[in-house]
Chain A
Amino acid sequence: MVTRPTTPKSAEELYEIVSQVGEGTFGKVYKARNTGSGKFVALKRIRMEAERDGFPVTAMREIKLLQSLRHDNIVRLYEMMVSNGSVYMVFEYMDHDLTGILSQNQFSFTDAHLKSLCRQMLAGLAYLHHKGVVHRDIKGSNILINNRGELKLGDFGLARFYQKRRKSDYTNRVITLWYRPPELLFGTTVYGPEVDMWSAGCIMLELFTKKPVFQGNDEIHQLDVIYKIIGTPTPERWPEVTSLPWYELVKPKEVVLNHFRELFQKWLSPAALDLAEQLLAYDPAKRVTALQALDAPYFTQEQPRAEAPVGLSTLEGEWHELETKRERAKKRRKTESGT
């Protein structure tokens, strides 16, 4: 007979689901306990039954990508598991996500902690981009943090390999609106890792302000919100903007000046402001790369030095966007019924 490596136990037997912790691009994410070792993992179930076309191509892409990535700041895919007509991705368990952890008040982050989180995010991105991968969905709920203060990028459902030497044509319907860079809002389909760097800039500000900075309702409004903060793009700041596909449709109606530094100086140190400004450069060609960002004076010169928020282990509960959303909905219901 054929000798085949057999999976000793099915997913149900091996892992015991504890709770739901998130909603990925293509399926629910659960916290589960390995019944053998007692260790926690995150199980991401790939929904197959709803897929008339079989195995979702996004899931296939995520599996392929994660199998070929290994870095301290990228979530580890331990293994794949097939059970009862479902495919599960088994990840290392992360206690919190950024959106969740910024919404709690028990543990307050010092500037050194925030610097560490920012640095870890950039290190993950530098590795990804070095490997020729664009994430395309950097946002608070995809940035995972554990109680040891380690930050890891997760959810690669929209990520893909890109050509380093030649920029290809991709879809511009990527990245959650609030973190979407202006060139995508102007309709470009030719882009590279710079799109992640804009999102990283948004996240960096969010670390300090505790909430997303560019909260648009739709694509047009999103641009307006950006203009209000960093001003409208001028030919000096971004020469190619006028040649982008949707420029004529969505171009700014009036000139707005850049208020970035005055708006954020109460939150960020001068070197942090410099870096955030470079990450949020209009012109993708001038936007700082992850590798350059890691070398910014904010990390190399300005005090305090980065320090991982190891104290998170004292934090009660686990903080994910999902729970934060539920909590908010509960509160809303309460206040509504109260009035």
Chain B
Amino acid sequence: MATDYWASSHYKRWIFDRATIKQARALDLQYVEDPEYIDFLGIFFANLISKLGKKLSMRQRAIATATVFFRRFYMKNAYCETDPFIVIAACCYVAAKAEEFPVHIKNVVTEARLLFANDEYGIKSFPSDNSKLAEMEFYLVDDLECDLIAFHPYRTLMTLCGREGSSVSHDTEAGELGAGVQDGPRYWGTGEGKLELQESALQMAWFIINDTYRSDLCLIYPPHLIAIAAIYLTLVFHESTHESLKSAQSWQYTPFLALKFKPS
């Protein structure tokens, strides 16, 4: 089944080991005093994508997809040989289309110019011509090898912990791959065996997932594993959840005893 992760290009072509990721930055490394700066750049660019995405009122998942596209693009290109700012704009533009929430190219150009030109960044060179962004989009899609599907941990999180009426926006959006698809018997996604998390804990797990995009994790681990790790961290860091687990005395085993499985 190709709507599943294991059959996807995400799994087959876009998961790397750390050595390969390091190798991709070889050229950039020559220009920094401390290799750690490269990681800082990664954080900086991820924040910019998130800012631009919010200005374009993109949903969190589309922003995550834009970030994944950005990181995939820089598996084949060097920061020092490209203009990351136009790449960022192109990533947002393509991700918005790929996630069925298209924004007009003119808006992307306008918002990107405004954002990048402010005092914090001082980038005044962003082209005002739509066609430059369209051109960059073409190179981007080429280097992405037309693989426009990215899987995200949000879906696993909401499948395991989601609740009706939760304030965390977890509605599977129209256009999401395989949303509502059920292949054969399974109980996840059926509403059975959900992990009962407090609303604020769910929120925390969601934010932890947002933060993972500031690193290379999305190139290294499958999304469901990232989601599980985020849930685990939440059980540790979310105070009242942690307290209630402790008082239930299940802590000595594993927080996952909190999973109330009811296999159907």
User: Interface residue count for B (Cβ, 8 Å)?
Assistant: 45
A85 within 8 A of B: yes
Rounded to whole angstroms, the CA-CA distance of A68 and B178 in the bound complex is 9
Q: A69: which B residues are within 8 A, CB to CB?
A: 2-3
Q: Given A60-B98, A163-B172, A4 and B76 touching (CB < 8 A)?
A: yes
User: Interface residue count for A (Cβ, 8 Å)?
Assistant: 34
Nearest CB to that of A3 among chain B residues? Answer: B23
Nearest CB to that of A130 among chain B residues? Answer: B181
Q: A85: which B residues are within 8 A, CB to CB?
A: 138
Rounded to whole angstroms, the CA-CA distance of A5 and B16 in the bound complex is 13
Question: Which one of A45-53, A209-217, A224-232, A331-339 contacts B?
Answer: A45-53
B196 within 8 A of A: no
Rounded to whole angstroms, the CA-CA distance of A5 and B143 in the bound complex is 10
Q: B27: which A residues are within 8 A, CB to CB?
A: 1-2
Q: Classify the secondary structure of A's interface with B.
A: loop
Rounded to whole angstroms, the CA-CA distance of A69 and B149 in the bound complex is 13
Contact B178 A54 (CB under 8 A): no
A57 within 8 A of B: yes
Contact B178 A132 (CB under 8 A): yes
A64 within 8 A of B: yes
A257 within 8 A of B: no
Question: Which one of B39-47, B48-56, B129-137, B207-215 contacts A?
Answer: B129-137
Rounded to whole angstroms, the CA-CA distance of A2 and B138 in the bound complex is 21
Apart from the given pairs A57-B102, A67-B2, A130-B181, 20 other A-B contacts in the complex at a CB distance below 8 Å: A1-B26, A3-B20, A5-B145, A51-B134, A52-B131, A53-B104, A53-B130, A54-B137, A60-B148, A64-B149, A67-B146, A67-B149, A68-B8, A82-B141, A131-B3, A161-B177, A161-B179, A163-B172, A163-B179, A163-B180
17 A-B residue pairs with Cβ-Cβ distance under 8 Å, sorted by A, are: A2-B23, A2-B26, A54-B133, A55-B94, A57-B102, A60-B94, A64-B149, A68-B3, A69-B2, A69-B3, A82-B138, A131-B178, A160-B100, A160-B174, A161-B178, A162-B174, A163-B179
A residues apposed to B, CB below 8 Å: 1-5, 48, 51-55, 57, 60-61, 63-64, 67-70, 80, 82, 85, 87, 130-132, 160-165, 168
